[in-house]
């Protein structure tokens, strides 16, 4: 509360110091106009009806000047004015009206000043943040990654507070289609006070996402958060190995290097297409179906990239033993151990040197969208059977890349958002993804086939969720654990309806209380108290499952029915 009061007082103080200097001259003009007008009325003699002389008191003079300046006009009091008084009143009328117009115009100028309006908007936003009643994450930077991640989190019911230094981006963020009014602070996220104003020290703040386009800014955000709120999680974007090492040196919770993630994703696409499809369905709310891309096992790839992405793809392909030819303007640091062609890849001759007609696929990964489109169109002219992978750098280029019907598009912002989303929404999801990277492709195929069996002929949208077998999530299951009727994984995947049909769900991961991981557990595995389970299947199935595990009578009915059927 003390911190909140200090923040409000500081912002009000800044607003007053911005307002007062601009009103200094108008206030002086008003004071001078009133003072001279009052003094003149006091000194000029008046005439009573009987012919006597009288002088206005300072109070009477102030009263006359006040109703004259405000154009109310009560008349000539206490007696009709003399010619001298009337002449002076003409001066009073014009001087005070002009002074008031000057003052009012100055006030309106200050109020309409963009800086003052931004400060007031900032103050109102801070007030709304301090009034939050629900947990939230602070997202620093409304670029491609920030835009995607707040949308992904919103679809999972997680609120965000945005910090953006660019006014145009901030205005765009305020207009984003969200289920709640997004609070956007226009300021420098690397400034500690901005983080404090955004609520980093609030008990409701769950974490900070440093997603700006600058490594040093993200590093500063992470260090400031570690000191200001040590309990708060910090997820940071990094685009250099040195910055990644720096972030990890003080235990930043999550560091995402989009170039490395993209290279890993490409390797997975080529070597493990089913794991690739499952990964993207789980981490991207926009993917609600499994779409497997059939990639030929043999044949080489042409990689057109020259920056960090090209270096990371080269390293990843060498580790995965994927044959490829690198096309880049500059000599690679490991050119002696790879096939390399100098050029951009936008010309047919360069691609022919890379044996494009014999290639199975091409990666257009330069940092220019126009070049990437040119590379792909040229390559498709030479070889229509190519698997095409495009890198999209600017969000404004999205309509072209969407219309291009390329097999896979690397969107840096989306890549970062997917990785962040996997760690924020469902804690077990990130653990499963770690298992998925080393899981044999045959086992992944078995997972997908198992779900298809449960779905039958239906093709619903897919979703994942997690449950815990504890008193809060599953009070209906606890009484049966560690008994002769001990439930198994399969017993949780039964619809509590009268027919007790199998629900369109499978268990992807089970985590024991002691931390042991059981990827894709068998349906006959006995359940234990405090087990945590990651489930995947038809969207909406979680409602039926939650009904089952919360009611002991329904779960008892399911167990009895299954034991009777088995007997």
Q: pLDDT tens, 537-546?
A: 998 898 999 9
End-to-end CA distance of the chain: 64
The CA distance from 397 to 363, in Å, is 17
14-35 mean pLDDT: 78
Residue whose token pair is 């999550």: 254
What pLDDT digit, counting tens, does each position of 303-318 carry?
999 888 988 999 999 9
Residue 545 to residues 111, 468, 493, 540, Cα–Cα distance (Å): 56, 12, 7, 9
Taken as a whole, the chain contains a residue count of 567
Pairing mode, strands 301-304 and 361-364: parallel
Task: Supply φ then ψ for residue 425, to 5 degrees.
Answer: -75, -60
Residue whose token pair is 């399911």: 558
Tell me, what's the pLDDT at 525? Answer: 92
Indicate the pTM of the whole model.
0.80
**pLDDT higher than 60, residue 1:** no
**pLDDT higher than 80, residue 197:** yes
Task: Supply φ then ψ for residue 213, to 5 degrees.
Answer: -85, 5
440-453 mean pLDDT: 92
Close Cβ partners of 287 (under 8 Å, ≥ 6 residues apart): 280, 281
The pLDDT-based confidence of 376 (bands split at 50, 70, 90) is very high
Give 364 or 18, the one with higher predicted confidence: 364
Tell me, what's the pLDDT at 533? Answer: 95
The CA distance from 268 to 260, in Å, is 12
Interhelix angle 258-271/412-424, nearest 10 degrees = 90
Strand order in the sheet with 505-511: 462-468, 532-538, 505-511, 517-519
Residue 210 to residues 41, 163, 218, 393, 415, Cα–Cα distance (Å): 67, 10, 5, 19, 15
107-117 mean pLDDT: 76
Tell me, what's the pLDDT at 127? Answer: 87
Task: Supply φ then ψ for residue 469, to 5 degrees.
Answer: -85, 75
Interhelix angle 273-283/258-271, nearest 10 degrees = 130
The pLDDT-based confidence of 567 (bands split at 50, 70, 90) is low
DSSP single-letter state for residue 488: B
Question: What percentage of the chain exceeds 70 in pLDDT?
Answer: 94
501-526 mean pLDDT: 92
Burial readout 400-422 (b: 16 or more C-beta within 10 A, e: otherwise) = ebeebebebbbbbbbbbbbbbbb
**Weakest-pLDDT range from 3-17, 189-203, 208-222:** 3-17
**Weakest-pLDDT range from 28-42, 328-342, 487-501:** 328-342
**Weakest-pLDDT range from 107-116, 165-174, 448-457, 524-533:** 107-116
**pLDDT higher than 60, residue 13:** no
Tell me, what's the pLDDT at 456? Answer: 86
Pairing mode, strands 324-328 and 301-304: parallel
Q: What is the CA radius of gyration of the chain?
A: 35
63-76 mean pLDDT: 81
Tell me, what's the pLDDT at 334? Answer: 58
> CB-hemisphere CA count at 13 Å for 556?
6
- Quick one: CA dihedral 56, 59, 62, 67, positive or negative? negative
What pLDDT digit, counting tens, does each position of 228-240 carry?
999 999 999 999 9
């Amino acid at each position: 509360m003390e911190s909140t009061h200090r923040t409000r007082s500081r912002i009000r103080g800044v607003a007053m110091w911005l307002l007062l200097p601009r009103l200094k001259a108008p206030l002086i003009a008003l004071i001078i106009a009133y003072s001279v007008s009052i003094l003149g009325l006091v000194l000029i003699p008046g005439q009573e009806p009987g012919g006597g002389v009288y002088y206005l008191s300072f109070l009477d003079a102030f009263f006359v000047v006040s109703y004259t300046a405000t154009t109310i006009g009560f008349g000539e009091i206490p007696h009709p004015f003399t010619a001298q008084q009337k002449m002076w009143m003409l001066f009073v009328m014009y001087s005070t009206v002009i002074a008031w117009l000057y003052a009012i115009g100055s006030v309106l100028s200050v109020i309409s000043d963009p800086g003052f309006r931004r400060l007031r908007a900032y103050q109102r936003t801070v007030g709304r943040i301090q009034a939050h009643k629900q947990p939230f994450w602070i997202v620093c930077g409304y670029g491609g990654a920030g835009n995607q991640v707040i949308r992904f989190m919103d679809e999972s019911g997680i609120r965000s507070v945005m910090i953006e230094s660019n006014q145009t981006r901030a205005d765009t963020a305020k207009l984003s289609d969200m289920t709640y009014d997004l609070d956007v602070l226009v300021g420098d996220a690397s400034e500690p006070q901005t983080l404090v104003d955004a609520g980093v020290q609030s008990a409701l703040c769950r974490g900070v996402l440093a997603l700006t386009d600058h490594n040093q800014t993200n590093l500063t955000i992470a260090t400031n958060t570690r000191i200001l709120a040590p309990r708060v999680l910090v997820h940071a974007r990094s685009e250099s190995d040195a910055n990644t090492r720096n972030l990890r040196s003080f235990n930043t919770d999550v560091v995402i290097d989009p170039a490395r993630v993209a290279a890993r994703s490409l390797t997975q696409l080529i070597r493990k297409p089913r794991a690739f499809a499952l990964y993207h369905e789980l981490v991207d709310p926009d993917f609600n179906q499994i779409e497997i891309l059939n990639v030929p096992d043999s044949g080489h790839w042409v990689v057109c990239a020259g920056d960090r992405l090209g270096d990371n793809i080269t390293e990843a392909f060498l580790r995965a033993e994927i044959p490829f030819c690198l096309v880049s303007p500059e000599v690679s640091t490991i050119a002696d151990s790879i096939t390399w062609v100098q050029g951009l890849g936008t010309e047919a001759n360069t691609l022919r040197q890379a044996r494009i007609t014999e290639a199975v696929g091409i990666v257009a990964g330069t940092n220019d969208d126009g070049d990437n489109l040119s590379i792909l169109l040229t390559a498709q002219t030479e070889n229509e059977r190519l698997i095409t992978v495009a890198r999209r750098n600017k969000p404004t280029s999205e309509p072209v890349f969407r219309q291009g019907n390329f097999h896979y598009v690397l969107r840096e912002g989306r890549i970062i958002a997917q990785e962040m989303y996997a760690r924020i929404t469902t804690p077990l999801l990130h653990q499963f993804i770690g298992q998925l990277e080393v899981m044999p492709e045959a086992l992944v195929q078995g997972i997908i086939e198992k779900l298809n069996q449960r779905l039958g002929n239906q093709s619903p949208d897919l979703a994942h969720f997690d449950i815990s077998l504890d008193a809060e999530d599953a009070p209906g299951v606890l009484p049966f654990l560690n008994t002769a009727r001990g439930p198994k994984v399969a017993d949780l995947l039964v619809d509590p309806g009268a027919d007790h049909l199998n629900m369109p769900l499978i268990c992807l991961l089970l985590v024991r209380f002691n931390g042991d991981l059981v990827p894709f557990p068998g349906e006959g595995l006995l359940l234990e108290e405090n087990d945590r389970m990651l489930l995947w299947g038809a969207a909406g199935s979680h409602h039926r499952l939650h009904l089952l595990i919360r009611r002991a009578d329904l779960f008892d009915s399911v167990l009895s029915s299954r034991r009777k059927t088995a007997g």
